[in-house]
Structure 1
Amino acid sequence: MSSIFKRIDTVFLQVKDFEGSIKWYCDVLGFTLRWKDEKSGYAALDIGETPLTLVRATKEPIKSASISFNFFTPDIEKAHQLLIQNDVNVGSINEDGQVKWFKFQDLEGNELEVCHFIE
């Protein structure tokens, strides 16, 4: 562990529909809005230790070829069902023996991932 750095403070995700994305992440994934700065286009969402900060894109966001981060869940089947019930584009649950995961897309088509493992 670093003696200087304690944690990742936040994870940033660019979105075109700033207000719609805030609503989607709160309504569908159950996150809560910690704070929002309408003028500069930042909104921090509480989801646990590290917040997700949505950033209003000023131009077309560049889609990454790989997943930048994933969400941990203690119950992957429940998380998977929740997303399906909310009409989210969800992939199937994968397993490699120790880790289970699945991919999904947010309101804007950002590809994200959910994982589970025994802590």
Structure 2
Amino acid sequence: MFSRIDTVILNVKKLDDARKWYQETLELEEVFDGGNHVVFKVGQGETPITIIEGKTGASAVKPILFSEAIEETQLKLKGLGVEVGSLEQDGTVTFFSFSDPDGNKFEVCHF
């Protein structure tokens, strides 16, 4: 029935402000500007993140990003003023969480 996840959509308050934050803070590559939405490539992954203006806040959607250097990633985000959670362990998985300026939750993992 389904062949893959097409994208993960996150609502943001102001598209232009969010675009800048996703590019500069998360270092994501913009691959498409649809006028009312922007699509970002996430590293070498196949599933992009799409941002669109709309109602914001904590939601059930939580993209999980993989990092080869999780401690460095956490420190870099902290240095950029992002409020990040502490490193946690769940078996062989190390992870932490953070939110974008619009309250969308993310998790970063390494295993």
Match of 1:43 in 2: 38
Q: 1:84: which partner in 2?
A: 78
Instruction: Count how many residue pairs are aligned between Structure 1 and Structure 2.
Output: 109
Alignment of 1:104-115 (within 5 A): 104-115=98-109
Q: TM-score, normalised by structure 1?
A: 0.83
What's the CA shift for 1:94? 0.3
**Distance in 2, Cα, partners of 1:9 & 1:90:** 27
Cα deviation for residue 67 of structure 1 reads 5.2
Q: Secondary structure at the match of 2:11?
A: strand
Partner of 1:103: 97
Change (3 A) 1:7 1:22: same
Using structure 2 for the length normalisation, give the TM-score.
0.89
Equivalent in the alignment of 2:22: 25
Moved over 3 A (4+): none
Task: Tell me the equivalent position of 1:7.
Answer: 4
Q: Where does the alignment leave 5 or more consecutive residues of structure 2 unmatched?
A: none
User: Gapped runs of 5+ residues in structure 1?
Assistant: none
Higher relative contact order (CA 8 A, sep 6+): 2
> Following TM superposition, by how much is the alpha carbon of 1:69 offset from its aligned partner in structure 2, in angstroms?
2.3
Cα separation, 2, equivalents of 1:78 and 1:6? 34
